[in-house]
């Protein structure tokens, strides 16, 4: 019996020790993944993104989160510098042969990850593939390309032809969805991007992908820019849940954590050794009015709602100090931004005036309206709740129709809504990207169903106007019409942020497509 007791005691001690060992503090930061242990030596960068990449195809996706991965592997012909001026990258220089023809000189000595040299034929192949396979993300960056007339004049010269003069074509070629891929690698791998086709000229090359979890990359030793990237390996992890991302930032489990929720910023920023960096993006959120749906087809009703709501208060409630209350139809820094014009159309809340307008519109006793709300976006829900309360004071009963994200998208894109809150990005730093979404040929047209010939003429004309100032005027003119007719009420200029561990250097927010350049980033040596 004594032996048994001794055995039981020994087992208990063993279990306790195992438990203590399991919970014991390790020599490095235990919060970091084991494959990130090297981070202490300053050669392994760990970044957390808000979405899984699914595959590493560069030209199809339209999602900014996808670009966070592909931008490190594939490069574009042009990039923006720190001041958001377009700069040559894989294209060393270019000149216009005529309004529709650009002669591009491809940089010499640039190598793909498989050792091949970048040739004009690879660039042409990439564009041809985008057009032939109708790859959505890339297609929008080369909307007017005349692929039949494009040609690789020689190994380092590409003739790029558009069907009509395309004013924004060069800046569109900064879009990560035009990342150049190796023709040979693509064909040899039969287009399998997880088994060979993932071959660009970028600072990092693909090593492995763990579904739903992370992508491992390593520095490309033959990268054409001397001294870059600054780290030997890069892990990009996907943590879709914003609370989990905030926790990961607090525990310093990664060097950089993207996209901290507005409500978590203060908490993360107050953590020792972590700071949150922010910059304005290119996306503006609007309260959109569907002019094809009664009673929003009545301009007086729309105007009454403009007077009845206080967008500034709603934005403050939802986002606090994150981002900025709209000061223009597009964000500052975007071609087409005009604060003066915006102020001219902006109204100060006036409930009595709203009631008078409603009476004039034939609704003296108020009316019922609906806002279609994106269910997984807490900030948009908060703003809608604020609008609901504000509209009630003007005698407008507002129903919030909160839907699951996919249902909401289908609902609003098929024009079943009266109002909704939606954002337009201007990743090419021009208002055309946002304005085009309200054109009849676009799948987003029914967001507002704004059928105004003058508006459509201005937007179309802007697309073909090579003179920058003239183009800007046309953008402002088009945006003016949207506000004058009370179709889109600008609410909030989106900000981008990331939690960065102290000692990480060279990281900066990239406004354009919200993809951040990681080749300049170095991590602390501990």
| Binding-site ranges for other proteins (CB under 8 A) | 22-26, 29-36, 52, 54-55, 57, 60-63, 134, 136-137, 139-140, 194, 210-213, 237-241, 243-244, 247-248, 250-251, 253, 376, 404-407, 409-410, 413, 424-425, 437, 441-444
Instruction: For the CB of residue 360, give the shortest distance to other proteins in the complex, in Å.
Output: 36
Residue 198, φ and ψ in degrees, nearest 5: -75, 80
* Distances 369 to 164, 168, 305 between C-alpha atoms, Å: 43, 39, 10
CB nearer to other proteins: give 227 or 273.
Answer: 273
Instruction: For the CB of residue 443, give the shortest distance to other proteins in the complex, in Å.
Output: 4
- Sequence-separated (6 or more) residues with CB below 8 Å from residue 361: 295, 298, 300, 301, 304
For the beta carbon of residue 414, count every other beta carbon within 10 angstroms: 11
CB nearer to other proteins: give 191 or 299.
Answer: 191
Instruction: For the CB of residue 172, give the shortest distance to other proteins in the complex, in Å.
Output: 11
CB nearer to other proteins: give 53 or 77.
Answer: 53
Q: Do residues 237 and 69 touch, judged by C-beta distance below 8 A?
A: no
Instruction: For the CB of residue 397, give the shortest distance to other proteins in the complex, in Å.
Output: 26
In angstroms, the CA 256 to CA 294 distance is: 47
CB nearer to other proteins: give 368 or 410.
Answer: 410
CB nearer to other proteins: give 93 or 163.
Answer: 163
Give the orientation angle of helix 299-308 with respect to helix 378-393, to 10 degrees.
100
**Could you tell me the two tokens for 495?**
């900000």
Instruction: For the CB of residue 355, give the shortest distance to other proteins in the complex, in Å.
Output: 36
Instruction: For the CB of residue 244, give the shortest distance to other proteins in the complex, in Å.
Output: 5
- Which three-class secondary structure state does DSSP give residue 235? strand
CB nearer to other proteins: give 119 or 252.
Answer: 252
Instruction: For the CB of residue 64, give the shortest distance to other proteins in the complex, in Å.
Output: 10
In angstroms, the CA 249 to CA 500 distance is: 8
Residue 36, φ and ψ in degrees, nearest 5: -105, 10
Instruction: For the CB of residue 31, give the shortest distance to other proteins in the complex, in Å.
Output: 5
Question: Which residue has 């040979």 as its token pair?
Answer: 184
Residue 37, φ and ψ in degrees, nearest 5: -60, -30
- Which three-class secondary structure state does DSSP give residue 283? strand
Instruction: For the CB of residue 216, give the shortest distance to other proteins in the complex, in Å.
Output: 11
- Which three-class secondary structure state does DSSP give residue 258? strand
Closest C-alpha among 381, 392, 248, 246 to residue 310: 392
CB nearer to other proteins: give 211 or 466.
Answer: 211
**Could you tell me the two tokens for 211?**
């579904």
CB nearer to other proteins: give 140 or 180.
Answer: 140
In angstroms, the CA 407 to CA 29 distance is: 42
Instruction: For the CB of residue 162, give the shortest distance to other proteins in the complex, in Å.
Output: 17
In this structure, what is the dihedral angle of CA atoms 436, 440, 446, 448, given to the nearest 10 degrees?
Answer: 60
CB nearer to other proteins: give 130 or 314.
Answer: 130
Q: Is 43 exposed, middle or buried (0-12, 13-18, 19+ CB in 10 A)?
A: middle
Q: Do residues 474 and 460 touch, judged by C-beta distance below 8 A?
A: no
In angstroms, the CA 159 to CA 104 distance is: 6
Q: Do residues 501 and 256 touch, judged by C-beta distance below 8 A?
A: yes
CB nearer to other proteins: give 257 or 358.
Answer: 257
Closest C-alpha among 427, 423, 422, 431 to residue 514: 427
In this structure, what is the dihedral angle of CA atoms 312, 317, 322, 325, given to the nearest 10 degrees?
Answer: -10
Instruction: For the CB of residue 269, give the shortest distance to other proteins in the complex, in Å.
Output: 15
In angstroms, the CA 131 to CA 62 distance is: 15
Closest C-alpha among 380, 418, 179 to residue 292: 418
CB nearer to other proteins: give 65 or 519.
Answer: 65
Instruction: For the CB of residue 27, give the shortest distance to other proteins in the complex, in Å.
Output: 13
CB nearer to other proteins: give 201 or 250.
Answer: 250
């Amino acid at each position: 019996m004594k032996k048994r007791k001794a055995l039981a005691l020994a087992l208990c001690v063993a279990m306790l020790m195992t438990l203590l060992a399991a919970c014991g503090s390790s020599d490095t930061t235990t919060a970091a993944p084991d494959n990130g242990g090297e981070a202490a030596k300053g050669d392994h960068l760990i970044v957390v993104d808000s979405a899984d990449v699914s595959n590493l195809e560069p030209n199809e996706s339209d999602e900014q989160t996808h670009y966070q991965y592909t931008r490190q592997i594939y490069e574009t012909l042009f990039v923006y510098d720190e001041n958001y001026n377009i700069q040559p990258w894989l294209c060393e220089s270019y000149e216009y042969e005529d309004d529709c023809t650009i002669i591009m000189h491809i940089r010499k000595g640039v190598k793909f990850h498989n050792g091949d040299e970048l040739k004009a034929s690879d660039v042409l192949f990439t564009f041809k593939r985008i057009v032939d396979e109708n790859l959505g993300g890339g297609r929008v960056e080369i909307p007017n390309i005349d692929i039949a007339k494009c040609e690789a004049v020689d190994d380092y010269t590409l003739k790029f032809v558009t069907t009509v003069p395309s004013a924004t074509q060069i800046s569109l070629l900064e879009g990560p969805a035009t990342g150049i891929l190796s023709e040979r690698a693509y064909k040899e791998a039969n287009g399998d991007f997880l088994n060979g086709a993932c071959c660009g000229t970028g600072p990092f090359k693909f090593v492995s992908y763990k579904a739903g979890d992370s992508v491992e990359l390593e520095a490309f030793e033959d990268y054409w820019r001397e001294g870059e990237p600054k780290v030997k390996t890069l892990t990009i992890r996907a943590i879709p849940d914003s609370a989990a991302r905030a926790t990961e930032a607090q525990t310093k489990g990664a060097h950089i954590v993207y996209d901290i929720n507005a409500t978590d910023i203060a908490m993360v920023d107050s953590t020792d050794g972590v700071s949150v960096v922010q910059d304005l993006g290119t996306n503006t959120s609007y309260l959109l009015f569907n002019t094809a749906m009664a009673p929003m087809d009545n301009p007086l009703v729309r105007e009454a709602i403009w007077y009845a709501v206080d967008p500034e208060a709603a934005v403050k409630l939802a986002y606090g100090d994150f981002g900025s209350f709209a000061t223009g139809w597009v964000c500052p820094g975007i071609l087409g931004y005009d604060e003066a014009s915006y102020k001219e159309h902006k109204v100060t809340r006036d409930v009595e005036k709203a009631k008078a307008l409603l009476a004039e519109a034939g609704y003296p006793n108020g009316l019922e309206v609906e806002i279609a709300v994106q269910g997984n976006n807490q900030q948009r829900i908060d703003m809608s709740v604020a609008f609901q309360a504000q509209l009630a004071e003007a005698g407008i009963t507002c129903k919030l129709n909160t839907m699951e994200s996919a249902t909401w998208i289908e609902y609003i894109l098929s024009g079943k809504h009266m109002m909704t809150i939606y954002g337009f990005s201007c990743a090419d730093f021009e208002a055309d990207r946002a304005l085009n979404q309200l054109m009849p040929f676009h799948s987003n047209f029914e967001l507002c169903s704004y059928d105004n010939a003058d508006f459509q003429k201005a937007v179309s004309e802007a697309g073909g106007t090579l003179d920058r100032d003239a183009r800007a005027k046309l953008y402002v003119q088009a945006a003016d019409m949207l506000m004058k007719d009370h179709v889109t009420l600008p609410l909030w200029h989106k900000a981008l942020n990331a939690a960065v561990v102290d000692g990480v250097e060279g990281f900066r927010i990239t406004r354009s497509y919200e993809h951040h350049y990681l080749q300049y980033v170095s991590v602390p040596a501990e």
